[in-house]
Structure 1
Amino acid sequence: MDELIVNVDEGSHQVNLNLMNIASDDDDGLWESACAAEEVQEGDDPQKHAYERKPRKKTSPIWKDFKELLQSSVKKAQCIHCKSIIGIPASGATTQFHRHLNSCIPCIAASKKQKVITFDFDCGSVGSGSCFTYDHKKVRVSYMVVTCHFVDSWWHLQKRVLNFFNVPPPHSGVIIADALQKSFIECKNENKVSTITVDNARNNDVTIQILKDDFTLKKTLAVKGQLFHVRCYAHITNLLVQDGISQIGDIVDCVKDGIKYIVVSEGRLKQFAEIAKQLQLSYKKLILNVPTRWNNTYMMLSTALEFREVFPRYEDRDQSFRWVLSVDDWVKVENVCHVLEVFNEVTKIVSGSNYPTSNLFLPEVWRIRDVLGKKSKDANIYVRTMAEKMYLKFEKYWGECNLLMVVGAVLDPSFKLKLVKFCFPEIYQEPEATRNVEKVHNVLNELNGEYVDAHNLTAAPNRGHQSNSNSASSSSDGSSSGVQRSTKSGMAMLNFFVRSVDTFQPVKSDPEIYLKEDVYICDEGADLKFDALEWWKSNQLKYRILSKMALDILSIPITTVSSESTFSAGGRVIDPYRASLSTKTVEILLCGADWVRALHGLSKSSNLDEPSLVEIDLP
């Protein structure tokens, strides 16, 4: 037998092609072996087996892992992996064989090995076989994305993916903190970090504490790090809603399974649509549940409410359909949807902008707190229980005053302190509400003082440089005539005087002047379209220092949506056919694509993103 082995290396996939050709010279030997298989033994009666019933063909796939044998004239099956022997029942059932394979360790180990595809083909008069082996390595690689948010010189909010790199396990807080520190140093941003926004994982709290201590030693954090740690608003909202939906989990599962049963068949969907037409229902769509999106569950339930009269009538036509809610269950769904409707509207407002600024969140947090407070006193027990459970989660994450969210609202000229004075008595009890208002005043003044000091430090070297340049130009002019003169021109002296005015402290600070003025009244219906950054751009000459502070505060993200969208893009880069890309190549592809889009003003194609709703149109 001749054997030819060809190794083809394609990236990390190694393809082994084994071709085995049976020699055709020994035709006599092949003929003798074939004849021996069909030879009739001497003394055998040819009519002996003529009327015997043929044995039944074994079609079960378990016989690939078992072989039949005789023990004391009794048929039994032996596992080819562990050599265990199991009796064969007279009925031919194979349940015990499947049960054995599920617990057979050698069989499980063999199933995880390289998969082999075998096939036969004819090549002239010579029989030959081929075996093609494909090794696809599925290695689980953990990545972390670092996204930077800032405002450019045209006062446009910008986002860039700085790093998308591998973080090997274990993913403890210390390891994540070290990985972030290396990322900051690599990008030369170790002294420019003001805040970090993360979700509510426990290891992230350890990470933030380590980084906060490091940056505090360097004295690079504003107001002693009180604004450094930002919790993801979207993640907290998701936790609140998941706690609420869990109170009617059985009802949600019943609606979800019923819709799945209907949409899986075109005939069932047509029958369902006919009943809806007979009842003259205007709604023409069903929505499937997406477990990773809580608002999709709300849309599924609210849509199912429109067809509440269709489901029992469909049950009369299809005896296999058993997912019908009672009248009381539909009332529960309706009451829960009233609560979730508020969360859905809040999510729309926050996610309606590509880059929501920090001033948008405080009104929505107050709205959630107000709804939960009212529903905690609802007459329905299950609504009251749901609201109380969600309220406990609310107090856990937003019970303390979120300074970044509040300062962002104060720097919105359409809110200022009026929104804080309106919301805090609703969110907090006295005297805590008054203390939190004072706390916001103190933080705002302290933050402004730090920006004033930074402004004076940068202005002083510029004034010295301007003075030296004026002296140098004067001496240069004098040297041309051979006489050294230190006399300044009138324009240079005037410019020096104008710049020196910055050192004089005004009677009132920028925050005091800003808060004394009336709020900006938006046109009716244009509240959600108001751009706070555009207002500060127009008033930067009036508030030279406060506008810089507003620029930094409003650019801080309170959600991790942008980072999650980067992971969605990463899922399209690292697909099952490109699972072996090196981590450096993945980082180049994702970071490079993000920066190229920003450079040329391109936007992501929306049809590549995961659809927010799975809608099924009724025929």
Structure 2
Amino acid sequence: MASETQCGTNEVPVVSTPANEAPQMATTDTSTVASNLPPIEAEGIKKPNQTSYVWSHFILLEGERAECKYCGKTYAAGSKTYGTTNLRTHLESRCKKYPYGKKNMQDKTQMTLAFKPKKSDDAEGTNSNSLIAVSYNESMCREALARMIIVDELPFKFVEHEGFRYYSNVLQPRFIVPTRTTVARDCIRLYSIERDRLKIFLKKSTQRISLTTDTWTSIQNINYMCLTAHFIDDDWQYHKRILNFRQVPNHKGETIGKVVESLLLSWGIDKIFTLTVDNAASNSGIVTYLDRITKEWGASILDGEFMHMRCCAHIVNLIVMEGLKNLHESIVKVRNAVRYVRSSPSRYDKFKACVEKVKIASKGCVCLDVPTRWNSTYMMLENAEKFQRAFERLRVNDAQYIRYFLDDGNGKKILGPPDFEDWDNVKVFVKFLKLFYEVTLRFSGSLYVTSNVFFHELCVMKIELTNLCESEDPLLSMMARDMHEKFDKYWGDIERLNLMMFVAVVLDPRYKLRFVNFWFAKWNSGAVADDMTKKVKKTLVRMYKHYCNCDGYSNGQGQDGSSSNNVETRPIQDPHTLVKSIYKKHLAMDSLESKSEVERYLADCVEEDSPNFCILNWWKVNSSKYRLLSKVARDVLAIPLSTVASESAFSTGGRVLDPF
């Protein structure tokens, strides 16, 4: 029998000729025709009429049977009685190995090769070089679609857009894009799954939760509250989870406290460590209410003494706003110049033409600030400074630019335009405000540990303000004095601060207690500095003892949990062994091993402060060495310094809620 060939574009079906006519093959190469004929005939078998395409996929056998080339099944064939309908039905509907059949196209278990997606955010590509076997799964496609809608904050109607449906059909024709109502249900179902998973995790975990909360009033005068949890898991990974985003009746402290209590009960959370809020008066009522509730639950730590955590980013905002309360004329002039450029498309085009003429290589452009947000004022001044030469060229080329400052349309004169002295002042302001802008960014981190950077930024701000108060520039010295006053109001007295912020620095193995003591001595007399250092150490020891008691250990126990004062808990029969054991215990009385984990940690050498140092990785590696102290560090390092994690839920950039 001739060798078998697969179906392809070069296959030529054999057309039979009547008996009284000779085949018209005189001018055709016999070998070429033979190679294109399907090997279906054997000697002695009558060849049926093979005009149907199915004979390219079947082998004719004896007894008028045909065998499928792909799966090997046989069917009756070869005469007018049987025909080829059953063969065609087999190919299109039954054969699982036929690569072009409907049955195979709908087989969800069929695996195909694809590049493995990358988990990291790689700008050059989203796939790796390794191949994996994948199969079509409609439920996974719908889940991925729901995740896309949630993560990218897309409207549900996005799935009904013509462009997306066309793209999805080209990408995977088997996936039928659901309607917006179905996608909404998928998002709710996905939320329920993730919520239940987080509930189970929080119920089984032993670490405490640090919370942040913030409220917001929409343009419809509806009050909303966001509650966010921060914690470090057993694998020493930092987590931020928005627990709830819900409507509240008002912004009163007790009202918010009751809402938070009901939310915590629904989540099954009772181990609260700190609550970070801004400096609004009502927030003190929230902390007082939750402090009383956690004591009733029996889950309070050190009687809730360190629960209240003031938002450091908000305090920095108050400090800087104090310095900018009497805005200098130079800032006002620059703001008016930027407002002129941004007031109409024609003015903006003229300004861009000036930028091109003076050859300023910058992809950005000037932006107008929001007077109630000092950081936007800083960004406005920083961007405007880059385009100083463009503003000067605009003053020459655009006659309306000068007239704008002489008359605002109501007969009033406007300050401006900025001159060379104003631009010099702007440079000073930008350099001065940049420090506080960067401090705010560090305080506002929500995806990494921030509690251990508080004391460092506190030192930087205090030193900078002290130096600027003695500046020869009267403008800077006046601003610095006003800001230093506000700084001392919130951070000048250690008695007003949450000592956990200093404990977090001590638990940083690069600095420990000596770093805190050094800067306390720089700011105060020796006796005051020593007293402040003792308070910080005492707080750490109290925390450690509390965790020892919760873990079932007494305060005098060593790392292994055995008492260091008893000779032996079990009687020893051999007197020689007893003598040696007593001597070893005597040697251990003054050794480092007999001390608590806090003493041993503080006595160890500090770690090198390298750029790639990760404090969570260090504690993960040394958690076996400091078994209980590492639990203290895990909870203290999870404390957020600001409420930005909750506030950002209301102010996502680029998203505007309309009146409906």
What is the CA-CA distance between 1:409 and the residue it aligns to? 0.9
Q: Which residue of 2 aligns with 1:299?
A: 379
> For each residue in 1:152-207, what CA deviation from the matched residue of structure 2 results, as whole angstroms up to 9, or x when unmatched?
222111122222222113x2222222222222223222x31111000110111222
Q: 2:336, 2:417 within 8 Å by CA — same for their partners in 1?
A: no
C-alpha change, 1:320 and 1:433, in structure 2 (3 Å) is farther
Residue 314 of structure 2 is aligned to residue 314 of structure 1: no
Q: In 1, distance between residues paired with 2:360 and 2:653?
A: 42
RMSD of Structure 2 on Structure 1 (CA): 3.0
Q: In 2, distance between residues paired with 1:212 and 1:168?
A: 22
Report SS of the residue matched to 2:271.
coil
Q: In 2, distance between residues paired with 1:165 and 1:273?
A: 45
Counterpart amino acid of residue 265 in structure 2 = I
Residue 259 of structure 2 is aligned to residue 179 of structure 1: yes
In structure 1, stretches of 5+ residues that fail to align are 1-136, 459-503, 580-619
Counterpart amino acid of residue 206 in structure 1 = G
C-alpha change, 1:367 and 1:178, in structure 2 (3 Å) is same
C-alpha change, 1:284 and 1:540, in structure 2 (3 Å) is closer
Q: Which residue of 2 aligns with 1:160?
A: 241
Report SS of the residue matched to 2:634.
helix
> For each residue in 1:98-145, what CA deviation from the matched residue of structure 2 results, as whole angstroms up to 9, or x when unmatched?
xxxxxxxxxxxxxxxxxxxxxxxxxxxxxxxxxxxxxxx984321111
Residue 301 of structure 2 is aligned to residue 208 of structure 1: no
Q: In 1, distance between residues paired with 2:624 and 2:362?
A: 54
**1:55-94 equivalence runs, <5 A:** none
Q: 1:339 aligns with which of 432, 442, 445?
A: 432
Residue 307 of structure 2 is aligned to residue 228 of structure 1: yes
Counterpart amino acid of residue 253 in structure 1 = V
Q: In 1, distance between residues paired with 2:477 and 2:452?
A: 31
Q: In 2, distance between residues paired with 1:377 and 1:182?
A: 52
What is the CA-CA distance between 1:262 and the residue it aligns to? 1.6
Stretch moving more, 158-167 or 561-570:
561-570
Q: Which residue of 2 aligns with 1:6?
A: none
Q: 1:381 aligns with which of 474, 477, 482?
A: 474
Q: In 2, distance between residues paired with 1:367 and 1:384?
A: 17
Q: How many residues align?
A: 392
**1:127-526 equivalence runs, <5 A:** 139-169=220-250, 171-189=251-269, 191-216=270-295, 220-283=299-362, 285-291=364-370, 293-321=373-401, 322=405, 323-351=416-444, 354-401=447-494, 402=497, 403-428=499-524, 431-456=527-552, 507-523=594-610, 526=611
C-alpha change, 1:175 and 1:348, in structure 2 (3 Å) is closer
> For each residue in 1:489-512, what CA deviation from the matched residue of structure 2 results, as whole angstroms up to 9, or x when unmatched?
xxxxxxxxxxxxxxx996201111
Q: In 2, distance between residues paired with 1:366 and 1:553?
A: 20
Q: 1:256, 1:288 within 8 Å by CA — same for their partners in 2?
A: no
Q: Which residue of 2 aligns with 1:576?
A: 658
What is the CA-CA distance between 1:328 and the residue it aligns to? 3.3
Q: In 2, distance between residues paired with 1:229 and 1:140?
A: 28
Q: In 2, distance between residues paired with 1:208 and 1:324?
A: 49
Q: In 2, distance between residues paired with 1:138 and 1:344?
A: 29
Q: 1:366, 1:426 within 8 Å by CA — same for their partners in 2?
A: no
Report SS of the residue matched to 2:365.
strand
Q: In 2, distance between residues paired with 1:406 and 1:218?
A: 28
Report SS of the residue matched to 2:225.
strand
Report SS of the residue matched to 1:194.
strand
Q: In 2, distance between residues paired with 1:297 and 1:569?
A: 19
What is the CA-CA distance between 1:536 and the residue it aligns to? 0.6
Q: In 2, distance between residues paired with 1:193 and 1:571?
A: 34
C-alpha change, 1:264 and 1:370, in structure 2 (3 Å) is same
Q: 1:147, 1:562 within 8 Å by CA — same for their partners in 2?
A: yes
Counterpart amino acid of residue 537 in structure 2 = H
Q: Which residue of 2 aligns with 1:44?
A: none
What is the CA-CA distance between 1:448 and the residue it aligns to? 0.7
Q: 1:298, 1:340 within 8 Å by CA — same for their partners in 2?
A: yes
> For each residue in 1:537-592, what CA deviation from the matched residue of structure 2 results, as whole angstroms up to 9, or x when unmatched?
111111100111111111111111110122236995x9337x4xxxxxxxxxxxxx
Q: In 1, distance between residues paired with 2:264 and 2:364?
A: 48
Q: 1:375, 1:387 within 8 Å by CA — same for their partners in 2?
A: yes
Q: 1:540, 1:547 within 8 Å by CA — same for their partners in 2?
A: yes
Q: 2:337, 2:418 within 8 Å by CA — same for their partners in 1?
A: no
Q: In 1, distance between residues paired with 2:332 and 2:444?
A: 27
Q: 2:443, 2:641 within 8 Å by CA — same for their partners in 1?
A: no
C-alpha change, 1:222 and 1:163, in structure 2 (3 Å) is same
C-alpha change, 1:570 and 1:369, in structure 2 (3 Å) is closer
Q: In 2, distance between residues paired with 1:314 and 1:570?
A: 31
> For each residue in 1:216-247, what CA deviation from the matched residue of structure 2 results, as whole angstroms up to 9, or x when unmatched?
46553333333211011111112222222333
Q: 1:408, 1:553 within 8 Å by CA — same for their partners in 2?
A: yes
Q: Which residue of 1 aligns with 2:15?
A: none
Q: In 2, distance between residues paired with 1:370 and 1:304?
A: 28
Q: In 1, distance between residues paired with 2:276 and 2:485?
A: 23
Counterpart amino acid of residue 234 in structure 1 = A
Q: Which residue of 2 aligns with 1:540?
A: 623
By relative contact order (CA 8 Å, sep 6+), the higher-ranking structure is 1
Q: 1:557 aligns with which of 615, 640, 659?
A: 640
What is the CA-CA distance between 1:516 and the residue it aligns to? 0.7
> For each residue in 1:237-265, what CA deviation from the matched residue of structure 2 results, as whole angstroms up to 9, or x when unmatched?
12222222333354323212311322444
Q: In 2, distance between residues paired with 1:575 and 1:348?
A: 26
C-alpha change, 1:393 and 1:184, in structure 2 (3 Å) is same
Q: In 2, distance between residues paired with 1:571 and 1:335?
A: 31
Counterpart amino acid of residue 441 in structure 1 = K
Q: 2:444, 2:642 within 8 Å by CA — same for their partners in 1?
A: no
C-alpha change, 1:506 and 1:284, in structure 2 (3 Å) is closer
Report SS of the residue matched to 1:566.
coil
> For each residue in 1:291-339, what CA deviation from the matched residue of structure 2 results, as whole angstroms up to 9, or x when unmatched?
2653332122123223334434422332322331233333332222221
Q: Which residue of 1 aligns with 2:181?
A: none
